């Protein structure tokens, strides 16, 4: 598969893709998830989770830069041979398909709960997938441009909504600080993993980046904005509801913006803005994942284009998204996915690949 020079992305577009890939549906549930482990210390857990995720990205960057002109798929082939390389490549296809199915199910549940009460979940899922599939057929640069347009608007809306919420907060709910056992703190960090996942797509984007030497800078600002958005949401939720009440909530982030009385003057249901907002963020995450899985398949089957692999994934995502019975079961599966599958795909397999490549290089020299 040849990378066209017109399909390469700038450093700013890399930054936007980082933010778009990481901020997804997880923000809807993360405040209640971390509160179950860390109580009012959720903001510390999110900060530490963000720093650890950035360090993992630095490791992935070092691995990918061992040959910056190819994707991670070619590195897998070099390390393990053709057959094992293809097997491991398919693991990444499964990873992104399963990840997409979680995003799809949760955005459908959110839309059904707050916007389209009478529309069947299956119809919402199909509509969402077809919309995402349409744009994912285009190149990396086109998707980066779309994220470039949408992301500033999303950040501005979050700032405006946060300003209205700020007036009713009680920050004493954030005290005392660090009064939890280390074990709970570590479990809380683990619960934030799903919310930061998405940065691993750059394992497969390196040949599409014009200035690879500036990728670390783009990643730093991308992680900084993501951590800042998460911190604002979790601090505001804790200050508004208190950690005990927040643990019992299914939609803490939506509840935070539901009672913005100032907005009710012009908008009947302020939370609908937040739902629409997060539908856009989930949309950008989903199209990136669909495209990455298609790029991997194009590399495996050595085809010139990736676009016809996009719609081939959709039936699998649709079926997987309907397996959980409800939102709580979906979140439970997401936790297992984060702890086991994501740890293997994002950390363990790249690390083993790097060790094997270094070992092979040393053997070749001797």
The answer to whether residue 276 sits within a structural domain is yes
The answer to whether residue 23 sits within a structural domain is yes
The answer to whether residue 326 sits within a structural domain is yes
List 6's β-bridge partners, or say none. Answer: none
The answer to whether residue 362 sits within a structural domain is no
- Our CA dihedral for 322, 326, 331, 334, rounded to 10 degrees, sits at -20
**What is d(CA 260, CA 163) in angstroms, rounded to the nearest whole number?**
10
**What is d(CA 162, CA 156) in angstroms, rounded to the nearest whole number?**
10
Judge residue 280's burial from the number of C-beta atoms within 10 Å of its C-beta, 0-12 exposed, 13-18 middle, 19 or more buried. middle
**What is d(CA 170, CA 266) in angstroms, rounded to the nearest whole number?**
26
The answer to whether residue 351 sits within a structural domain is no
Boundaries of domain holding 52: 11-345
Cα torsion 290, 295, 300, 301: sign: positive
The answer to whether residue 3 sits within a structural domain is no
* Phi–psi pair at 209, nearest 5 degrees: -100, 130
Give the per-residue pLDDT at 30: 82
Give the per-residue pLDDT at 2: 53
Give the per-residue pLDDT at 22: 87
List 9's β-bridge partners, or say none. Answer: 209
**What is d(CA 112, CA 242) in angstroms, rounded to the nearest whole number?**
27
> Residue 89 belongs to a domain with what CATH number?
1.10.4160.10
Cβ(42)–Cβ(34) under 8 Å? yes
Give the per-residue pLDDT at 126: 94
The full 3-state SS of the chain, as one line of letters, equals CCCCHHHCECHHHHHHHHHHHHCCHHHHCHHHHHHHHHHHHHHHHHHHHHHHHHHHHHHHHHHHCCCCCCCHHHHHHHHHHHHHHHHHHHHHHHHHHHHHHHHHHHHHHHHHHHCCCCCCHHHHHHHHHHHHHHHHCCCHHHHHHHHHHHHHHHHHHHHHHHHHHHCCCCHHHHCCCCCCCHHHHHHHHHHCHHHHCCHHHHHCCHHHECCHHHHHHHHHHHHHHHHHHHHHHHHHHHHHHCHHHHHCCCCHHHHHHHCCCCHHHCCCCCHHHHHHHHHHHHHHHHHHHHHHHHHHHHHHCCCCCCHHHHHHHHHHHHHHHCCCCCHHHHHHHHHHHHHHHHHHHHHHHHHHHHHHHHHHHHHHHC
The answer to whether residue 366 sits within a structural domain is no
Tokens of 25: 């549906």
Collapsing DSSP states into helix, strand and coil, what is residue 209? strand
Question: What is this structure's pTM?
Answer: 0.88
**What is d(CA 96, CA 249) in angstroms, rounded to the nearest whole number?**
28
Q: Please, what is the angle between helix 271-300 and helix 11-22, to 10°?
A: 110
Other CB atoms within 10 Å distance of the CB of residue 66: 15
What total number of domains does the chain contain?
Answer: 1
Give the per-residue pLDDT at 268: 64
The answer to whether residue 364 sits within a structural domain is no
Give the per-residue pLDDT at 271: 67
Low-confidence ranges of the chain (pLDDT < 50): none
């Amino acid at each position: 598969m040849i990378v066209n020079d017109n399909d390469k992305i700038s450093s700013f577009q890399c930054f936007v893709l980082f933010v778009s890939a990481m901020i997804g549906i997880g923000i809807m549930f993360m405040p209640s998830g971390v509160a179950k482990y860390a109580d009012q210390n959720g903001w510390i857990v999110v900060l530490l989770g963000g720093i650890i995720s950035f360090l993992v990205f630095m490791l992935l960057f070092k691995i990918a830069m061992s040959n910056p002109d190819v994707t991670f798929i070619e590195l897998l082939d070099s390390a393990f041979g053709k057959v094992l390389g293809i097997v491991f490549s398919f693991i990444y296809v499964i990873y992104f398909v399963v990840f997409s199915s979680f995003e799809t199910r949760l955005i459908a549940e959110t839309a059904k709960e707050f916007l389209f009460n009478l529309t069947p979940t299956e119809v919402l899922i199909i509509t969402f997938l077809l919309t995402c599939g349409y744009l994912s057929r285009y190149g990396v640069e086109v998707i980066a441009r779309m994220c470039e347009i949408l992301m500033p608007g999303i950040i501005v809306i979050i700032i405006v909504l946060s300003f209205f919420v700020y007036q009713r907060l009680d920050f004493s709910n954030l005290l005392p600080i660090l009064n939890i056992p280390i074990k709970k703190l570590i479990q809380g960090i683990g619960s934030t993993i799903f919310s930061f996942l998405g940065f691993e797509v750059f394992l497969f984007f390196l040949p599409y980046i014009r200035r690879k030497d500036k990728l670390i800078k783009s990643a730093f600002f991308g992680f900084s904005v993501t951590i800042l958005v998460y911190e604002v949401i979790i601090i505001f939720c804790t200050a508004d509801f208190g950690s005990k009440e927040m643990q019992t909530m299914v939609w803490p982030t939506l509840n935070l913006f539901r009672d913005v009385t100032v907005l009710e003057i012009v908008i009947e249901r302020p939370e609908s803005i937040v739902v629409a907002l997060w539908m856009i963020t989930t949309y950008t995450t989903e199209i990136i994942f669909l495209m990455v899985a298609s790029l991997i398949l194009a590399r495996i089957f050595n085809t010139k284009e990736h676009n016809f692999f996009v719609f081939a994934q959709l039936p699998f995502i649709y079926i997987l998204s309907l397996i959980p019975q409800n939102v709580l079961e979906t979140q439970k599966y997401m936790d297992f996915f984060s702890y086991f599958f994501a740890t293997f795909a994002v950390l363990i397999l790249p690390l083993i690949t790097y060790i094997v490549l270094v070992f092979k290089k040393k053997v070749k020299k001797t």
